[in-house]
Amino acid sequence: MTIKDAPEEWRVTATSTPFRGNKTSVRTDDVVMPDGTVVSRDYQVHPGSVAILALDDAGRVLVLRQYRHPVRQKLWEIPAGLLDVPGENPLHAAQRELYEEAHVKAEDWRVLTDVYTTPGGCDEAVRIFLARGLSEAEGERFEVSEEEADMELARVETAELVRGVLAGELHNNCLAVGVLALTAALAGDGIESLRPAEAPWPARPFES
């Protein structure tokens, strides 16, 4: 048996959007179950995101600390951002986010992994990139505001981040998945075996 996710879509008999926000909305679908019953499913509709595990030549990961109001915590995270433009190339979005949040550019980009963050209640898909060959970006720093105005930046050894994830001290989804995926890649077939940065992404198809 092949362990692989597969597309499937159960019949929807009715749909509504009881809430529309600035970036996301909430949708209610009436879905036909395999036994013929119809149930309502509420979920957040999300444009998708990109995240960047930026690894420097010393083996340290670029992380940032930011306040997240829904969980009432300051979380250590890796740079990330929304796919604001429908059909946007996720690599271009990732390069933009790395510049805006860390004023850094990278020479080598690969797909580290693709995930659904909370598939039971949200359709958000995230592509996590591995970026290497880091250097400071040219020009003025991007002007930040709101939560990002209080953001802290650091470079931390991968092993220390893995320790923090397993100890229950670091909780950001993309950071946890990213550093564990990197560790697995290094222990397995190596970084060169990772998918190219422009690899297809069925969850969020994009233009080249």
User: Annotated catalytic sites, by residue?
Assistant: 148
44 - beta bridge partners? 26, 122
Written as six digits, the tokens of 85 are 């433009």
> To which residue do tokens 């580290």 refer?
112
CA distance 163 to 169: 8
First-to-last alpha carbon distance for the chain, in angstroms, is 34
- Find the radius of gyration of the CA atoms of the chain: 19
CA distance 172 to 75: 7
Are 95 and 129 in contact, with CB atoms under 8 Å apart?
Answer: no
| Side-chain half-sphere CA neighbours of 66 within 13 A | 20
